[in-house]
Chains A and B, each alone.
Chain A
Amino acid sequence: MTAEAGVGHRTSGRRQLASQIEAGRAGPARTLIALILTAVFIYPIYLVVLNAFKTQDAIYRYPGLPTLSLTWRNFVDVLTRPDGLFWTGLINSVQITVVGTLLSTVLAAMMAHYIVRSTGWFAKMLWVVIPLGVMIPPATTLLPLLRMMRDLGLIGSVFGLIVLYVAGSLPFGVLVFTGFMRTIPKELEEAAAMDGAGPVRTFWSIVFPLLRPAGASVVIFIAVGLWNDFITPLIILGPANGSTITVGMYRQISEHVSNYGAVFAYMVLATIPILVLFIFMQKHFVKGLLGGATKG
């Protein structure tokens, strides 16, 4: 009796300890360590944002500290460059990212539908060949692509770059959509087909709306990838005027090695659009990351 009570007491004591540990409340030591680590980790980004608002002189003298004389000067400099490096880059990047992402997402969804719903040899072949694409690093095909684009008259053209991106992003989209589409019951589509809807109508009114969760992940992944891509536009568009915002940043650095304020301001400005998109679609990004990762 007493022994039992003792055991019971000890167990409940430990249980209490256990639930204290796992309840999710953090002790002050853990909070402090976490805060310090986070601050150290993000310090370089803090520096960039801070120094984007400082004069050249202040950056040199007090690189890590906020000064009293914060200024918009650097941002004005970047935005009013006579050659319009930032604005052409921004316009090109927005066009490339928006058109490229939407086209590749829609094409990938349609192709995934075909792969999942068709039983023919072509669908089987696609399912072997398309996933190969995620293994092809851009550097390996850039040489022949450069010549192809030259022959097609697409070198230095935004349209050409979009075409490359749509083709290049397709495998990733197809992989994600195919996995997701297998979970959508065919009965829904059968019902629509019964009602006389053709494949296009069935896809647009039944399947595509159901793909939204996966679609959001595909969109944000491709958009971030295209916005940030460096190697393809550097080689296909060249570093000259009329490049993308990311390549323009490279040019801003190589030209203005001494004007750090402007370089930092450019980086802040170039990151804002994709950061806004990311904040809106954050959940899907993380979900896509986890889904993609756990499904292999």
Chain B
Amino acid sequence: MQMQNKYRLAPRNPLHVLLFAVPGAVLYAVFVLWPLLLALWSSFTDEDAYRLTTSFVGFDNYGRLFTDPAYLQTLRNTVILALICIVVPNALGLGIAVLLDRAGWAFNVMRAVFFIPVILSSVVVAVIWQQMLKDDGLINASLRAFGVADPPGWLSDPSLALYSVGWITAWQAVGTCVVLYLAGLQSIPKELLEAASIDGAGPVRRFRAVTWPLLAPSVTIMTVLSMIGGFKIYDQVKVMTNGGPGVGTTSTLAFDVVRTGIDAGAVGYGAAKAAAMFFMIAAISLLAIRVMRRREVDL
């Protein structure tokens, strides 16, 4: 009894708050929350780095967003990238995980190999693939060697460049999916699969009836993480295409925020774009958490 009373008092010890919570909370408030509020605030102004006067314009910047064809293109690009980031790494990752779900050192090595890109900087990945994909790069040189006279301009063709950016982002994310799905596969009780094959289920049937439903939570989580990752893409675009070829063909939300707010100096409009991006990602995350919680209950 005495002990419990004494313990209950311990967290109320002013030292506890002061030393444990306050330093982090102050840093977080000043360097994370405050800038977010500042961005929200300036999104309601017409602030410009190259003009001295700033006035309050209400929701004008937000209204402008939805009639600005360049922004709509950026939004469309980002959604396409997010979709690629969901579908490609998850499909490839799942397939590779099923393929690599075997014992032996060779398979351990192969798993590690698929994970290498995950720890690389996305700048490194972008440069590597730039060398592969550029007009006289290795892929086109190989295609020419095989007799393709006019190979595609993976990064120079405005209708292809976005998909190239999507592909390299997906390539880097495959390893995460492989690791997650392998863990999922290995947590499936072997008895279930054996029981299914005793009942006469072939490999495809076993996968559909046993493996897939048990992997579903991992798939949901990876889908959400991939989508959020896709919405944040910046490095690959900055390094590989700088938003081009042409005007904004590979521009993404994050790239556009920096270009508008910092490079072009349209602080207010850039802030509105930043705020819109934050709200989109927050909405997706909250929706995702809700979906995941529901899934957990179902299981």
Contact = CB atoms under 8 A, between A and B. Distances in A.
**Interface size of B as a range:** 35 or more
A77 interface: no
B128 interface: yes
Nearest to A146: B262
A170 B32 CA distance: 10
A267 B124 contact: yes
B27 A144 contact: no
Contacts of B183: 286, 290
B31 A235 contact: no
Contacts of B113: 38, 41-42
A145 B38 CA distance: 9
B287 to A, nearest CB: 12
Nearest to A160: B31
Given A164-B31, A267-B127, A37 B96 contact: yes
A110 B24 CA distance: 9
B81 interface: no
A31 to B, nearest CB: 7
A289 interface: yes
Interface string A175-204: 000000000001001100110001110110
A209 interface: no
A235 B289 CA distance: 32
B11 A143 contact: no
Interface string B120-164: 111110011101100000100100000000000000000000000
Contacts of B271: 143-144
B55 interface: no
Interface in A17-53: 17-19, 21-26, 30-31, 33-35, 37-38, 41-42, 44-45, 47-48
Contact of A171 (B28, B104, B174, B281): B28
Interface of chain B, main secondary structure: helix
Interface stretch (A68-76, A80-88, A122-130, A211-219): A122-130
Q: Name which of A114, A133, A263 has the most chain B CB atoms within 10 A of its CB.
A: A114
Interface of B: 3-4, 6-7, 10-13, 15-17, 19-21, 23-25, 27-28, 30-36, 38-39, 42, 96, 99-100, 102-104, 106-107, 110, 113-114, 116-117, 119-124, 127-129, 131-132, 138, 141, 171, 174, 176, 179-180, 183, 190, 193-194, 197-198, 200, 203, 217-218, 221-222, 225, 231-232, 234-235, 238-239, 253-254, 257-258, 261-262, 267, 270-271, 274-275, 277-278, 281-282, 285, 289, 292-293, 296
16 contacts: A31-B106, A33-B99, A34-B99, A34-B106, A34-B110, A47-B131, A63-B138, A118-B17, A119-B11, A139-B274, A193-B10, A199-B16, A253-B239, A260-B131, A267-B127, A290-B179
